[in-house]
Amino acid sequence: MGFSRLFEGSKTTEVVATDVEASDSEPSIIHDGGLAYVREKGGNGSKPSYQEAVGAPVESKSPLGYNVGWLTVIFLNVNMMVGTGIFSTPASILNRAGSVGLALIIWFIGFVMAASGFSVYLELASYFPNRSGSEVVYLEQAYPRPKHFFPVTFAVQSVILSFSSSNAVVLSKYLWRMTDSTPTEWQMRGVAIAAYTLAVIFVIAHNKYSLWLVNFIGALKILTLIFISIAGLVVLGGNIDRIPDPGHNFRNAFEGASPNGNDLASALVSIVFSYAGYYNAFNVVNEIQNPIPTLKRNGTVSLTVVAVLYMLCNIAYFAVVPKEEFAEASEIAASIFFSKLFGGSKSAANVLNFLVLLSAFGNLLAVLIGSARMIREIGRQGVLPFTNFWVSTKPFGTPIGPYVVKWVLTFIMIVAPSAGDAFTFVVSLGTYPDAIFRFAMAVGLYVIRRRRSKAGIGRSDFKAWHPAVLFYILIQVFVLVMPWYPPKGGPYAGDVSFWYATYCVVGIAIVLVCAIYYVVWMHLLPKWRGYVIRSEITSVDDNGANTHRLVRVKYADVPEWDEQHDEAGQLRQRTTTVAPSSEGSFKA
């Protein structure tokens, strides 16, 4: 039994691999006031589902194939969660917690946070089991009015800030460590660009093989964490002569626990980011056969395995390295661990550097795959120019447009800012808008529940436990509020030399600029020039790719257009009904 059952609101029946189409008498469009819910069915074995017509159309045959099996679901999440954090973050968590016991409790709280978030994503996916892109879809469907507002604001922020420069730079650093030489700044950047370019080539060249590579690296990551965990347990057993007192840190485990609220809050924020990635497989839902049961089982496995190994690795670190040395060391936690365990062996250090390097590369691949699906789904909403560029999967069956955009932005971010404040600021810039949208998504779950119940649309295959959803919302509030709390030392004692919360203000400004752009593009310009914006569904390739295009329709042509097209932009060939006034499942 997985923990997802603990966060499930009520008992549900799992969907079998192939679902029978609903009755022909079931309407293909349900009207509920100003909203219209379109019945869609994908080719991934999921049940037909209803989505608000403003959303991008379902691709009945995935142009990216159905290559995401149960193992890939696990390792897409594992590779994104396990980057380089578990090798370095434990020392900073201990610093802020002040005691070993409190540090371990914080790591457990991180697991509970991630589990609640997983249940929210799973319920949202169960409403739209034939759409990839996770947040893109969930925000679009939670807030369909004003039309295209959330797609536009989320699109601009997501595309502009979709770089992955920090992980590429970390990979470069560990590669140079293996050579035992000190690189120049441009040598460091050059290797980072080369590593990221290699990752992009892999994911562009072949979808299935890049997923296999993700699985392979993910398995090595798990084996690495298992090795560290077993080594720690062996040390605790008193079998290593050079570690005479492995239980030292666990006696009086709560001694020195920090009473400082800022320290504890900072530790919790770090934990939130350490588990980031448990949702990555939700970005590829339309490529998973029988997606909801597969995600429920194997998403649970991925998060549980990572959480257990995180705890065991921390115990291993604390068994080998004295607390005082661990908290004050400038090296990464795993480096001190290996040094103590193997006596400073150069070979052991190189093995560690290689494993951290490989872990960073696996993270690059997993983030590329998930992020590219999100950007492609944004393109399918029709709110970006050059729709075919974002949506097409030719010639290799992969979303080349989003991959190229991510490569260009990452290249710029590696080359343009100098090391120091500018780089730190830009890397932090995307975190605050992202937190805003995650909060909106979490609240949007309740909005979707209420609207679907009002429209008489049947239950989903999973319902998150109410306290778990509320807990996840509180986490997002915490992540939004915490960055405004001044650091110890005053407003200029943060990670940068200027005001500590500048990135929060700029992040909010980006969202506001997106909102202003929306008002001008969607309302003012059409009013001034005498047209309205309508959506139409068009095919992009002959392999199943389709999309919304936003077209300008002159005022005089609007009646004819609306007569010929339904709310989704499809030519009218459907039966419609009006939602019943009382709540309950729809009856034909």
179-233: pLDDT as tens digits: 888 888 899 999 999 999 999 999 999 999 999 999 999 999 999 999 999 998 9
What is the residue type of 469?
Answer: V
Tally of structural domains, the chain: 1
Q: What angle do CA 52, 57, 58 make, to 5 degrees?
A: 105
Tens digit of each residue's pLDDT (9 = 90 or more) over 511-538: 888 889 899 999 999 999 999 999 898 8
Q: Give CA–CA dist 396/245, Å, rounded.
A: 57
Q: Supply the pLDDT for residue 527.
A: 93
pLDDT at 585 over 50: no
CA distance 447 to 441: 10
How many residues are given for the chain? 588
Statement: residue 107 has pLDDT above 80? yes
Which residues does residue 531 pair with via DSSP β-bridges, in sequence order?
A: 554
Main-chain phi, psi angles of 260, to 5 degrees: -80, 120
Give the span between the Cα atoms of 417 and 398, in whole angstroms.
30
Is the Cα torsion angle 346, 226, 221, 320 positive or negative in sign? negative
Contact between residue 369 and residue 126 where contact means Cβ atoms under 8 Å apart: no
Q: What's the rounded Cα separation, in Å, for the pair 389 and 137? A: 20
| Residues contacting residue 190 through CB under 8 Å, at least 6 positions apart | none
Say what the pLDDT of residue 576 is: 47
Q: 392-401, 492-501, 537-546 — which one is most confidently predicted on average?
A: 392-401
Cα distances from 425 to residues 84, 336, 417, 494, in angstroms, run: 20, 29, 10, 11
Residue type at 484 in one-letter notation: W
Q: Residue 24 — pLDDT band, cuts 50, 70, 90?
A: very low
Q: In this structure, is residue 220 part of a structural domain?
A: yes
* Angstrom distance (rounded) from CA 228 to CA 541: 48
Tokens of 99: 């005691």
Q: Rounded mean pLDDT of the chain?
A: 85
Residue 11 has pLDDT above 50, yes or no: no
Where is average pLDDT lowest: 58-72, 460-474, 491-505?
491-505
CB 159, CB 384: distance < 8 Å: yes
Residue 107: inside a domain: yes
Could you give the CA distance from residue 433 to residue 148 in angstroms, rounded to a whole number?
18
Q: In this structure, is residue 375 part of a structural domain?
A: yes
Residue-level pLDDT at 330: 54
For residue 1, name the pLDDT band (cuts at 50, 70, 90). very low
DSSP 220-240: HHHHHHHHHHHHHHHHHTT--
The residue written with tokens 């296999």 in the block is 212
The pLDDT assigned to 298 comes to: 97
Residue 508: inside a domain? yes
Kindly state whether residue 42 falls inside one of the protein's structural domains.
yes
Cβ–Cβ under 8 Å, residues 72 and 587: no
Q: Structure tokens of 247?
A: 């239980």
Token pair for residue 234? Answer: 């062996």
- Residues 286-319 pLDDT 10s: 999 999 999 999 999 999 999 999 999 999 999 9
Across the range 436-452, mean pLDDT stands at 94
**Cα–Cα distances in angstroms (integers) from residue 18 to residues 3, 252, 288, 321, in the given order:** 26, 56, 12, 53
What CATH number is given to the structural domain containing 441? 1.20.1740.10
Which residue, among 412, 376, 402, has the nearest Cα to 203 in the 3D structure?
Answer: 402
Strands across the sheet containing 35-40: 49-52, 35-40, 29-32, 576-578
Asked if residue 167 belongs to a domain, the reply is: yes
| 3-state SS, residue 319 | helix
208: left (phi over 0), alpha (psi -120 to 50) or beta: alpha
**Residue 364 belongs to what domain range?**
3-578
Number of other CB atoms surrounding residue 554 within 10 Å = 11
**Token code pair at residue 369:** 């795959």
What confidence tens digit (pLDDT) does each residue in 214-226 have?
999 999 999 999 9
Beta-carbon contacts of residue 523 (< 8 Å; ≥ 6 apart): none
392, 538 contact by CB (below 8 A): no
Is residue 115 a contact partner of residue 271, using CB atoms and an 8 Å limit?
no
Three-state DSSP at 390 gives helix
Q: Is 31 helix (H, G, I), strand (E, B) or coil?
A: strand
- Specify the pLDDT at position 447: 95
pLDDT digits (tens, 9 = 90+) for 87-102: 878 888 888 888 999 9
C-alpha dist (Å) from residue 85 to 34, 110, 362, 533 = 47, 13, 13, 46
**Is 585 a member of any domain?**
no
Residue 583, domain member (yes or no): no
What percent of the chain clears pLDDT 90, i.e. is strictly above it?
A: 44
